C-alpha cells in the first residue's frame, strides 16, 4: 500500500513533476486506472482549491468521488485511544476509519493543526489513526504539519516558469493578525530541499520553522536582503513554532509590495491562496504580471492527479 502523506512517500520527485505536467497536457490518458474504484475525501476544515482540484483530478482518473465535511455532515470523531467518550465526540476513529475504508479504495484527509499543543499537532494523530485503522492508502489534503499536494503544485509551477537552471527561491513570512499553522511553509521547504534551487527563508525573529523542514534553506531575518536577486518569491504567513501557535507580530512592513518585488531579479510572486489582499500582499502585485497565484492554483489539479495516479498504480 502506498500512502501520500509527505515527500518521504515520493520515490522520484522529477518523475512525479513530469507526470503532473503530462497530466496537464493529456488529462484523460489514465481514465481507466481508477475505474470502479472510489476515493473518499474527508474535510475536517474548509477548502476551495484542495476540494475541487482533488475531485477533478480523481474524476480525470476515472475514480468515483465521495466527499464529506466531517463533524458537520457526520459524527464528531474521537481520535484519542482509551478515553471515556462522555464529551461531544459520538464516534471513535477506530470504527469510523474502518467503516470508511470498507467503502473506499483511497481516503484523502484534511485536518489542520489546533495550534494549542505542538507535540500533539506534530504527531499527526488524525493521519496516524486513519493509517492504522482504515487499511487503504491515505492522501494528505493538508495536515497539521504538511501540505504535500500544494508543494507538488508549487514544484510544477517553478519548473514551468523558471528561466535559470538554479533559480533563487525565497520563502517570505507575511503579516497576519490571526494564528495560522506552519504546514504550507514546512512543506514548501521540505519539497524545495531536493529541488535544484537556492532556497532562502525570511521571517521576523521568533518565527523559525522546525529545523527538520528548513534543511538546506538559508535563513535571513532581513526581508529586503533576502529578496535581492530572487527569481521566485513565495509568500505565506505562519504562527510561531517556538512560542507555539502565537502571533508575535503583524508588522505591516513585511507585506509584499511592488517596491519589495523590485528588489528581485524580475521575480515572480507565488502564494498557495487564500490570502487577504493589502494585508499580506498588495493589489499591485497580485493584479500585475509578476503574480503566478492563479497558475499555481490551477496546477493543484495536476499535482493531485500525479499523486493519485501513483497511489492507484500500487493498489
State which residue, 126 or 168, has the beta carbon closest to ligand CP: 126
| Residue 238 is labelled as binding a ligand | no
Among 49, 118, 146, 176, binds ligand CP (CB under 6 A): 49
Rg, C-alpha atoms of the chain: 19
Residue count, binding to ligand CP (CB under 6 A): 10
CB 141 within 8 A of CB 308: no
The x, y and z cell numbers of residue 172, run together, are 517570505
Binding marks (x or -) toward ligand CP, 267..286, rule CB under 6 A?
A: -----xxx------------
Give residues 94-153 in contact with ligand CP (rule: CB under 6 A).
142, 150
CB 282 within 8 A of CB 258: yes
For residue 108, the minimal CB distance to ligand CP (Å) is 11
Point out which span in 41-49, 65-73, 167-175, 233-241 binds ligand CP (CB under 6 A): 41-49
The single-letter DSSP state of residue 27 is T
> In whole angstroms, what separates CA 269 from the centre of its chain?
17
The x, y and z cell numbers of residue 209, run together, are 520553522
> In whole angstroms, what separates CA 252 from the centre of its chain?
25
First to last CA, the chain: 6
| Residue 32 is labelled as binding a ligand | no
| Residue 314 is labelled as binding a ligand | no
Among 1, 48, 259, 294, binds ligand CP (CB under 6 A): 48
Residue 47 touching ligand CP (CB under 6 A): yes
Contacts of 80 (CB under 8 A, 6+ apart): 125
CB 43 within 8 A of CB 69: yes
| Residue 236 is labelled as binding a ligand | yes
Annotated binding site: 47-50, 75, 110, 142, 147-150, 176, 236, 272-273, 276, 300
Residues that bind ligand CP (CB under 6 A): 47-51, 142, 150, 272-274
Amino acid at each position: 500500500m502506498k500512502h501520500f502523506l509527505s515527500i518521504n512517500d515520493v520515490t522520484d520527485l522529477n518523475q512525479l513533476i513530469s507526470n503532473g505536467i503530462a497530466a496537464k497536457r493529456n488529462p484523460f490518458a489514465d481514465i481507466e486506472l481508477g475505474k470502479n474504484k472510489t476515493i473518499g475525501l474527508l474535510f475536517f476544515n474548509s477548502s476551495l482549491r484542495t476540494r475541487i482540484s482533488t475531485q477533478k483530478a480523481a474524476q480525470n482518473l476515472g475514480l468515483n468521488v465521495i466527499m464529506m465535511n466531517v463533524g458537520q455532515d457526520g459524527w464528531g470523531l474521537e481520535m484519542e485511544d482509551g478515553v471515556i467518550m462522555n464529551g461531544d465526540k459520538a464516534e471513535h476513529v477506530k470504527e469510523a476509519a474502518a467503516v470508511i475504508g470498507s467503502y473506499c479504495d483511497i481516503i484523502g484527509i484534511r485536518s489542520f493543526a489546533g495550534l494549542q499543543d505542538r507535540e500533539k499537532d506534530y504527531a499527526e494523530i488524525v493521519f496516524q489513526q486513519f493509517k492504522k485503522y482504515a487499511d487503504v492508502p491515505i492522501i494528505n489534503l493538508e495536515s497539521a504539519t504538511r501540505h504535500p499536494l500544494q508543494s507538488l503544485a508549487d514544484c510544477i509551477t517553478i519548473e514551468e516558469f523558471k528561466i535559470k537552471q538554479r533559480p533563487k527561491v525565497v520563502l517570505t513570512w507575511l503579516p497576519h493578525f490571526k494564528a495560522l499553522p506552519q504546514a504550507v511553509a514546512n512543506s514548501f521547504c521540505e519539497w524545495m530541499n531536493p529541488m535544484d534551487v537556492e532556497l532562502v527563508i525570511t521571517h521576523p525573529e521568533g518565527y523559525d520553522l522546525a529545523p527538520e523542514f528548513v534543511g538546506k534553506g538559508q535563513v535571513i531575518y532581513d526581508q529586503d536582503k533576502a529578496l535581492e536577486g530572487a527569481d521566485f518569491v513565495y509568500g505565506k504567513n505562519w504562527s510561531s513554532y517556538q512560542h507555539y501557535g502565537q502571533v508575535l507580530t503583524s508588522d505591516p512592513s513585511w507585506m509584499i509590495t511592488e517596491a519589495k518585488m523590485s528588489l528581485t531579479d524580475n521575480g515572480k510572486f507565488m502564494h498557495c491562496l487564500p490570502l487577504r489582499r493589502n494585508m499580506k500582499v498588495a493589489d499591485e502585485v497580485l493584479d500585475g504580471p509578476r503574480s503566478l497565484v492563479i497558475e499555481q492554483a490551477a496546477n493543484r489539479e495536476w499535482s493531485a492527479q500525479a499523486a493519485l495516479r501513483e497511489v492507484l498504480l500500487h493498489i
